[in-house]
Amino acid sequence: MTQQPVQSPQFFLTAPSPCPYLEGQFERKVFTHLVGDKAPEMNDLLTQGGFRRSQNIAYRPACETCRACVSVRILAQEFEPNKTMRRVLKQNADLIGTAHGAEPSSEQYSLFRSYLDARHKKGGMSDMTVLDYAMMVEDTHVGTQVIEYRRRGPDSFITGKGEGELLAVALTDMMSDGLSMVYSFYNPALTDRSLGTFMILDHIQRAVAAGLPHVYLGYWVNGSRKMAYKVRFKPQEHLGPQGWARFE
């Protein structure tokens, strides 16, 4: 019998459960734990292979009868915003995102709670407590940042920080080849600002500034209206049986 090195990850398979995106389908996931000194390197490899991170777990779909979930990453260095996206950037030119360590706050949770109650009241995260939220942010062994978006203040050009009310938050992993948007949320009352789109555009700009090629958006689910927005950010690549392929 061949023995695996201690550092080799162990993978597990979940039992089937109803799919949250496609009615009548059942999902299964293969997952492993991201812990220890090798966690950042492993997170890079697994994300490039189609996995997503949730706390200290990396997972990907392993459904028996469906292949609708497709990993998506934006080609940041080639990206050019369209007319609608340029308008979103202009509408939010008064905002600035400040990167912090993976530290939760009561202000973040209050915004998170408002977002869930307005946009995902029946979703799988709807009953998350403040402790659950803290674990979502803190339970990471990789390079994770919390990016807080606030309005620009008179001293922002000096401090690089916004001021006043917290309007949006992105939980983001810093990878060797890009930024992975783990989760984001925003003030649901500010629909005219299109803050979800703005945060993706801001991450593209951050990747370009850092010389990184990709922004990972997780899964696009073909046939799910909830996920349709992800294919608007082109050019991008989709992960298929033959590897990453350009999608325009």
DSSP 8-state class, residue 84: H
- Residue ranges of alpha helices (H) inside the chain are 39-48, 83-91, 106-119, 130-138, 156-159, 195-209
Residues 58 and 121 in one domain: no
Question: Does residue 91 carry a pLDDT above 80?
Answer: yes
Domain shared by 218 and 119, yes or no: yes
Q: Which of these, 165, 203, 210, lies nearest to 184 by C-alpha position?
A: 203
| E strands present in 116-177 | 144-152, 162-175
% of residues, the chain, pLDDT over 70:
95
pLDDT at 232 over 90: yes
Look-up: residue for tokens 């939980």?
171
Number of domains in the chain: 2
pLDDT mean over 96-105: 97
In a domain, 5, yes or no: no
If asked whether residues 132 and 239 sit together in one domain, one would say yes
Q: Which of 242, 241, 195, 238 is nearest to 214 (CA)?
A: 238
In a domain, 27, yes or no: yes
With respect to residue 1, please indicate whether it lies within any of the assigned structural domains: no
Per-residue pLDDT at 123: 65
Q: For a pLDDT cut of 90, what percent of the chain falls above it?
A: 83
Tell me whether the omega of the peptide bond preceding residue 235 falls within 30 degrees of 0, making it cis.
yes
Quick check: 1 pLDDT over 50? no
Mean pLDDT lowest among 2-11, 54-63, 198-207: 2-11
Q: Is the pLDDT of residue 119 over 90?
A: no
153-165 residue pLDDT tens: 888 888 888 899 9
* Residue finishing a domain among 50, 69, 88: 69
Alpha-carbon gap, residue 225 to 56, rounded angstroms:
29
Q: Report yes or no on 7 lying in a domain.
A: no
- The letter for the amino acid at 151 is R
pTM comes to 0.92
Residues 93 and 149 placed together within one structural domain of the fold:
yes
Cis-peptide into 104, omega within 30 deg: no
CA distance 169 to 186: 6
Asked if pLDDT for residue 93 goes beyond 90, the answer is: yes
DSSP strand pairing (178-186 vs 162-175): antiparallel
